[in-house]
């Protein structure tokens, strides 16, 4: 669902939308931050989005607000509505053809489908890998968190998209490559290394396996990001040649 504001000629100036992300988590989307739109329009649309989320029985609503245009005024409205600033996020966007392969990797990869794993086994691994992650967003049952990996209306999904990395026969890493086959937009829904295997430079190999599989799936453009405070992951993006795209503030509100 969405709400848009038009000029006298019927041209859209701004738009706010609400979409399900995973489990009972919803996201507020938008266009037109740099348009000359009265802040009252944004206030009205954000309030309507929050009301709609409540009606959908959302557990939490999130918004990634790009740092440009009317963002400061919108941020003040988010505060008034009870949203909390979670983190500043730096994002990268790069053609997959320009990103490296995984030649020389020490990891051996198998999908959860190849391993004949259940969703519960995937969720149990996620709990281990996410330990110590500064962007830990599980917030409850990990089975709910992985639902957009398993079943997504827009992106490739399923146990075949969930990849488990092995180091000398032991489970060491996890990455989830997903592609929008309509336009080639691609993401790594999650990537991480188990605590016992950190500090060995495996992060870049996890990243590069993700790129390799995104290309196999038909992806053309990779879009990813991390907290601006996550120096290690930022270096991983940079080491892979990922190009800076934008900086956003991540806001959230529990319903």
**Above pLDDT 90, what percent of the chain?**
90
Name the phi and psi angles at 190, rounded to 5: -160, 145
Q: Which residues of 22-34 are buried (b: 16+ CB within 10 A; e: fewer)?
A: bbbbbbbebebbe
pLDDT, tens digit, 9 for 90 and up, residues 157-205: 999 999 999 999 999 999 999 999 999 999 999 999 999 999 999 999 9
DSSP one-letter string for 3-65: EEEE-TTS-EEEEEEEEEEETTEEEEEEE-TTS---HHHHHHHHHHHHHHHHHTT-SEEEEEE
**Above pLDDT 70, what percent of the chain?**
98
Query: In whole numbers, what is the pLDDT of the chain averaged over residues?
Result: 95
């Amino acid at each position: 669902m969405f709400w848009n504001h038009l000029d006298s000629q019927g041209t859209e100036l701004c738009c706010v939308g609400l979409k399900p992300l995973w489990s009972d988590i919803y996201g507020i989307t938008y266009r037109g931050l740099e348009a000359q739109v009265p802040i009252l329009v944004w206030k009205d649309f954000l309030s309507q989005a929050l009301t709609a989320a409540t009606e959908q029985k959302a557990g939490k609503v999130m918004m990634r607000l790009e740092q440009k245009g009317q963002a400061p005024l919108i941020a003040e409205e988010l505060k008034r509505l009870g949203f909390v600033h979670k983190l500043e996020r730096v994002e990268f966007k790069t053609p997959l053809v320009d990103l490296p392969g995984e030649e020389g990797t020490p990891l051996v990869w198998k999908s959860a489908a190849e391993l004949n794993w259940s969703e519960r086994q995937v969720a149990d691994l996620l709990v281990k890998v996410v330990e110590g992650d500064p962007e830990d967003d599980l917030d409850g049952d990990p089975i709910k968190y992985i639902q957009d990996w398993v079943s997504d209306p827009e992106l490739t999904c399923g146990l075949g998209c969930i990849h488990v990395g092995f180091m000398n026969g032991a489970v060491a890493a996890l990455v989830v490559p997903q592609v929008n086959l309509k336009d080639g937009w691609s993401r790594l829904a999650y990537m991480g290394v188990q605590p016992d295997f950190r500090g060995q430079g495996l992060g870049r190999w996890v990243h590069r396996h993700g790129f390799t599989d995104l290309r196999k799936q038909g992806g053309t453009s990779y879009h990813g990001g991390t907290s601006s405070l996550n120096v290690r992951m930022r270096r991983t993006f940079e080491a892979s040649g990922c190009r800076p795209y934008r900086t956003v503030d991540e806001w959230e509100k529990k319903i």
